[in-house]
Structure 1
Amino acid sequence: MDFSLLKDAMASKSYEKIADICVDLMLQVATQGIAFQDEWPYAIHLLGYIYVNDINSARFLWKSIPSAIKEGHPEVAAAWKIGQKLWTRDYAGVHEAIREFDWSQESRDMVASFSELYTKRMFELLLSAYSTISVQDAALFLGMNQDDATNYVLQQGWSVDLTSRMLTVKKQPVVTEQKLDPGKLQRLTEYVFHLEH
């Protein structure tokens, strides 16, 4: 089986392409009637779905993986554990699932990249959902200890009340830039003039 496209995507850290590449390869193999279960990179395939936040597809892949592979390949189970935590919206559990497994060299960079991306997603969630949040809760969402979480959000312009251990969210200003296109304005003027006469 030719995994060169997959290896190239991994080498170039194009992790957002992994799931699609795996699906294409799986379809090619299936149309040729080749048995591929033992050598298929299930952990990478699951992580590819997780990376692009396609948890439904990850669930369906997990259900299709033979029991012998689930039980015999701990990294496959570890990848799915991340998927389970995402599925149940156990935000802190996602970080725990990432940290508690010793990932293979093949998966390590992808998992680290996902962890960074996930932390940014969680920060954006906090930014949009809260005006104040406890240091403890922010640390859980961001998968950090309380000091690191505090430093992380302070670098983003938030403020902290050390007495109450509460963080005040600094909302990002919404910048809307409107450019006046003279051509569009002229067409609109002509259209309105036409309607009136």
Structure 2
Amino acid sequence: MEEGGIAIDFSELREALSSQSYSKVADICDSLMLRVAAEGVPYQDEWPYALHLLGYLYVDDINSARFLWKSIPAAIKESQPELAAAWKVGQKLWTRDYAGVHEAVRGFDWSQETQGLVNSFLEIYTRKMFQLLCSAYSTISIQDTALFLGMTEDDATNYVLQQGWLVDPVSLMLTVKKPPVLKEQKLNPDKLQRLTEYVFQLEH
């Protein structure tokens, strides 16, 4: 986010990062990009594309991430390793390569600017994967659990045991503890459809 000689005010974006308001990053970038484009400011060489892309991934907006990636000049893609690393995470999300998401995140040395956002994303993603396993399985192997959670088998076992799961030391199978059902909570039909698709992907 070096402004150089171009008058782009990134203060709102910096504030969102410093206050860990990561869910606002994509919207702030969108608004700022529209503003500078409307003013005819040549922003492309100065733009924090990696942050913008990661901001979309943080709020699970894969389609906007793909659109942004397609719009970035090839020279910029080739000259910014962190941008390419962010896109690799996006590709793994798009193909539902759950273990690959963890590998893509951990396989790059993120800058100080993006590190907090990336760490927070991975924490939320791990929780989502755990909730998905709770919904989709009654028993699952330690090996598969470790893949989904992006952990070693020992760490994954410890993680789920803390959540009340049970382990069979002979078969190395885990018995899933289902979360309590809140009767007053109605499941959104869209969420149910997405969950059904997830389960189908897991089983095939």
**TM-score of the two chains, using structure 2 as the length reference:** 0.86
Please list the CA deviations of residues 26-64 of structure 1 after superposition, one character each: whole Å capped at 9, or x if unmatched. 110111011100100000000000000100000000000
Aligned to 1:11: 18
Alignment equivalent of 1:29, drawn from 22, 36, 57:
36
CA distance in 2, matches of 1:115, 1:130: 22
Q: Which runs of structure 1 show a deviation greater than 4 angstroms over 4 or more consecutive aligned residues?
A: none
Please list the CA deviations of residues 64-119 of structure 1 after superposition, one character each: whole Å capped at 9, or x if unmatched. 01111100000000000000000000000000000000000001111011010000
The residue type paired with residue 18 of structure 2 is A
Please list the CA deviations of residues 129-184 of structure 1 after superposition, one character each: whole Å capped at 9, or x if unmatched. 00000000000000000000000000000000011010000011213359xxxxxx
Alignment equivalent of 1:167, drawn from 165, 171, 174:
174
Q: Do residues 113 (structure 1) and 120 (structure 2) align?
A: yes
CA distance in 2, matches of 1:97, 1:172: 29
Aligned to 1:62: 69
The residue type paired with residue 139 of structure 1 is A
Structure having the higher Rg: 1
Deviation at 1:23, TM superposition (A): 0.3
CA distance in 2, matches of 1:39, 1:66: 12
Give 3-state SS (helix, strand or coil) of 2:123's partner: helix
Aligned to 2:193: none
Alignment equivalent of 1:87, drawn from 81, 84, 94:
94
The residue type paired with residue 165 of structure 2 is W
Aligned to 1:186: none
Aligned to 2:81: 74
Aligned to 1:183: none
1:175-190 counterparts in 2 under 5 A?
Answer: 175-176=182-183
Alignment equivalent of 1:51, drawn from 49, 58, 81:
58
Question: Identity over aligned residues, as a percent?
Answer: 72
CA distance 1:177–1:88, shift in 2 (3 Å): closer
CA distance in 2, matches of 1:109, 1:17: 14
The residue type paired with residue 131 of structure 2 is E
Alignment equivalent of 2:153, drawn from 146, 149, 156:
146
Unpaired segments of 5 or more residues in structure 1? 179-197
**TM-score of the two chains, using structure 1 as the length reference:** 0.89
